[in-house]
Chain A
C-alpha cells in the first residue's frame, strides 16, 4: 500500500476514541447532539466529551440538570422528533433513576407506536470496576438491558472498535445502550483511523485463534482473557478468545461456530453470575451444539454479591489467573 492510499490514523486511548467518534459524527450530522451532566464546559468527568462544547456550542453539547430520568426521558422526546441525542449517564451505577425511561420507553416506543416513531438515540455509560471508585461506581449490569427487547447493548474493548461501534450506534435507527469499560479508558492506546468508519453492531470478533477451548468475553474482560490465553499457550493449551463486542443482539453464529471447533468453552464477564450473559451463552451452546460438547461450560464471573468497596475489588473481579483456572477446568474435564 502506498503512503497516499494509507488512511491516516491516530494513536488514541479508548476514551479518546469515544470523543473522536462523537466529534466525527457531530461534524457529519447536524442532528447529533450530546447531553448529560458535566458533558459541556467540563468535557465530562472522564473527558469523553472534551472540547466538544467549544467546537459545537451549547445547543449541541448540553449540560443538563442532574437528573437521570430527565436526561433519558427528554432524549426520548428529542429522538422521537428526529434528533439523534447521545445522552451520557456519568456512571452506569447511577442509571437506575432513569431505568423506567430506558425499559418502558426507550426500548418500546417503536413497538408502542407500530413503527411510527423510532428512537435513534445512544445512551452512553461507563461501566465496571477496577478503578478504585466509591460505592455504586463499579457495577456491570448489562444483563438488565440485554434482557429488554428493543434495546441493543454494545460493549467495546479496543479504541478502534469503540469509535467504529459508536458511529454505528449513532447511525442505527434504533436505541442503543453503549457501555464503556472505564477500567481500560486509558490503559493502552490503539490505532484509530481519522474520519468515519463503522464497526457493525451484533458481530463478534476473534481476538486470538485457538483450537482447544473457546473463551467468550467482552469489554474490559477481553484483556485478562487474552493474557490468560497467552500464559496457557506456554503450557500447551491453545485457547481461542472471542470478543463479543455486542451483548444484544448476541452473535450466536460466531459463538456456536467457535465452540464447534473447540468443543469446550469458558465464558468470562465481570457481572454477577446469576442471570448474567454467561448463562445465555451457555444455553445457546446447549441448544445449538450439544453434540460438540466435550466438557461443561465454565463461567468465570463476578460473584453474586453487591460490588464490594475497593479494598476487596481485586478479589471480586475476574483476572487473568481466574480466567486461566477456568480455562483449565474446561480443558481438563
Chain B
C-alpha cells in the first residue's frame, strides 16, 4: 500500500525512530545521496546558527531561524526532480539551498539587499512570500498553468511550503480547494512546527491533525514525522510521483503534514521564552533530525568519525565563504529601486527617479545613510 493511502489520522509515518533505528521501509537512496542529505542538513544548521549570530552582531537584519526543520526541508527538496518547482515561504532557505540557490543570495536577501530577491533563471525556486499562506494559491496556479500548457498531462510537480499557522488562513483553503477542483500537480507541504509565533497549534484548529484537512478537498493527506528525514523523503517522493502520474481515478494533489519543531525563535525579533517552556524544547531536541540520521548512517557503516569531521569542516568553510561574499558585496545602487516596478518606467516614476538622482548628486549619499 502506498504511504499516501493511510488515514490522515492514523499517526505519523516514520522510517527512523528517535534513536536512528529503522522502523519503516528505508527509501531507495544511494550511500552518496544519504551522505549528501546529511551534509545538506548540517549545512542548513550551521548556516542558521551563523545567521542568528550575524543578526545579533548587527551584521544582518531580522532573520527567521530554521533549526529543527532541516529534515523536512532538505529531504523534501531532495525528492524533487530537476524540472520540479519549489514554492517557499520565508523560512525555506534550507530547501532552497538544496535546489541550488546560493547561500550568498539568501544572506543578501536577509541583509536587506534587493539583489538577493533575484533567484537565477535556471533555479526552479519561486520568490519567497512573507504574507502567511499567500503563496499557496500561487503554487496551485503555477501547477495549473503547467497542466494547461501540456494539454492536461504534465510531468512537472510543484511543492509549496507553509507552516501550521497558514492552515488557518483563507488562502490555504482556497489554494487547496482550487487544486482539488482543477486537479493540479501540487504537493502542499505543511511544516507543522507547533507554533505560529506564540500561538500553539491547538489554537489554529480543533482538527485532530492538519493532514486530515485534505479530506475536505477530495485528495490525500498524510501526517509524517517531519524530524525523520527518511520518512519525509519517502512521503514526498510518493506525493510528487502521484502529482505527475496519478492512478486512474486518483487526484494529483497531496497535503503532507510534517510534524516537527522550531528550536529557535519565530524570527530574531521574537523571544520564545515568553510563551513556551524549556522542557518542551528539550523534549523536541531529543528528536533532532541531524543526530538521528547520523546514527542511522553510522549503523549502516556509511559514516564514521573521520567522515563526519570532513563534513563539518567543509560546511564551516562553505558558510564562511558565503558570509564573506555577501559582506564584501558593495551596496546596491539605490536608483535600481525605480527599475523593477513596471517593464517600462511610467512618466511619474521617471520624474521621481530623476529627482532622487538630483538629491544624491547635490547632497551625496552620506546624507541618506544612517551611521
A94 is an interface residue with CB less than 8 A from chain B: no
Q: Given the interface contacts A73-B134, A97-B170, A110-B342, does A81 sit within 8 Å of B114 by beta carbon?
A: no
- B residues near A81, Cβ cutoff 8 Å: 141-142, 145-146, 149
- Listed stretches B175-183, B252-260, B265-273, B279-287; interface member: B175-183
- A180 CA to B313 CA, complexed, in Å: 62
- A109 CA to B117 CA, complexed, in Å: 10
- A314 CA to B36 CA, complexed, in Å: 71
- A83 CA to B138 CA, complexed, in Å: 13
Among A97, A114, A173, contact of B117 (Cβ-Cβ < 8 Å) = A114
Q: What number of B residues sit within 8 Å (CB to CB) of A?
A: 41
**Shortest Cβ distance from residue B343 to the other chain A in the assembled complex, whole angstroms:** 4
- B residues near A67, Cβ cutoff 8 Å: 170, 174, 177-178
- A300 CA to B121 CA, complexed, in Å: 49
Whether B129 pairs with A173 at a CB distance below 8 angstroms is: no
**Shortest Cβ distance from residue B353 to the other chain A in the assembled complex, whole angstroms:** 13
Q: Given the interface contacts A249-B348, A253-B347, does A70 sit within 8 Å of B174 by beta carbon?
A: yes
- A249 CA to B352 CA, complexed, in Å: 13
A24 is an interface residue with CB less than 8 A from chain B: no
- A237 CA to B203 CA, complexed, in Å: 66
**Shortest Cβ distance from residue A302 to the other chain B in the assembled complex, whole angstroms:** 25
| Chain A residue with the shortest CB-CB distance to B131 | A104
A159-187 interface mask toward B, CB cutoff 8 Å, 1 = contact, 0 = none? 00000000000001110000000000000
Whether B127 pairs with A117 at a CB distance below 8 angstroms is: yes
- A316 CA to B342 CA, complexed, in Å: 36
B144 is an interface residue with CB less than 8 A from chain A: yes
Whether B118 pairs with A113 at a CB distance below 8 angstroms is: yes
- A residues near B181, Cβ cutoff 8 Å: 64-65
- A323 CA to B121 CA, complexed, in Å: 53
- A residues near B1, Cβ cutoff 8 Å: none
| Chain B residue with the shortest CB-CB distance to A80 | B142
B89 is an interface residue with CB less than 8 A from chain A: no
Whether B126 pairs with A78 at a CB distance below 8 angstroms is: no
**Shortest Cβ distance from residue B213 to the other chain A in the assembled complex, whole angstroms:** 16
Among A59, A117, A202, contact of B148 (Cβ-Cβ < 8 Å) = A59
Whether B177 pairs with A73 at a CB distance below 8 angstroms is: no
- B residues near A47, Cβ cutoff 8 Å: none
| Chain B residue with the shortest CB-CB distance to A111 | B340
**Shortest Cβ distance from residue B139 to the other chain A in the assembled complex, whole angstroms:** 6
Chain B facing A: main interface SS: helix
B98 is an interface residue with CB less than 8 A from chain A: no
Whether B137 pairs with A101 at a CB distance below 8 angstroms is: yes
**Shortest Cβ distance from residue A205 to the other chain B in the assembled complex, whole angstroms:** 17
| Chain B residue with the shortest CB-CB distance to A107 | B341
Whether B129 pairs with A105 at a CB distance below 8 angstroms is: yes
B171-204 interface mask toward A, CB cutoff 8 Å, 1 = contact, 0 = none? 1001101100100000000000000000000000
| Chain B residue with the shortest CB-CB distance to A82 | B145
A263-277 interface mask toward B, CB cutoff 8 Å, 1 = contact, 0 = none? 000000000000000
A250 is an interface residue with CB less than 8 A from chain B: yes
| Chain A residue with the shortest CB-CB distance to B151 | A59
Whether A113 pairs with B127 at a CB distance below 8 angstroms is: yes
Whether A70 pairs with B340 at a CB distance below 8 angstroms is: no
Whether A100 pairs with B131 at a CB distance below 8 angstroms is: yes
- A283 CA to B13 CA, complexed, in Å: 63
Among B119, B127, B143, B341, contact of A150 (Cβ-Cβ < 8 Å) = B341
**Shortest Cβ distance from residue A116 to the other chain B in the assembled complex, whole angstroms:** 6
**Shortest Cβ distance from residue A78 to the other chain B in the assembled complex, whole angstroms:** 4
Whether B174 pairs with A174 at a CB distance below 8 angstroms is: no
**Shortest Cβ distance from residue B145 to the other chain A in the assembled complex, whole angstroms:** 4
Among A59, A76, A115, contact of B137 (Cβ-Cβ < 8 Å) = A76
B210 is an interface residue with CB less than 8 A from chain A: no
Known: A65-B181, A70-B171, A110-B343. 14 other contacts (CB 8 A): A65-B178, A77-B140, A81-B145, A81-B149, A105-B131, A105-B134, A110-B342, A111-B340, A114-B114, A114-B117, A116-B121, A150-B341, A202-B346, A249-B347
- What are the 4 A-B residue pairs with the smallest beta carbon separation, nearest first? A77-B141, A73-B137, A70-B174, A74-B141
- Cross-chain pairs A/B with CB under 8 angstroms, 13 sampled: A59-B152, A65-B181, A69-B137, A70-B178, A73-B141, A104-B134, A105-B129, A105-B134, A110-B343, A114-B115, A116-B121, A250-B348, A252-B348
Q: Report which A residues bind B (CB closer than 8 A).
A: 33, 59, 64-65, 67, 69-70, 72-83, 97, 100-101, 104-105, 109-118, 149-150, 152, 172-174, 202, 249-250, 252-253
Q: Report which B residues bind A (CB closer than 8 A).
A: 114-115, 117-119, 121, 126-127, 129, 131, 134, 136-146, 148-149, 152, 170-171, 174-175, 177-178, 181, 339-343, 346-349
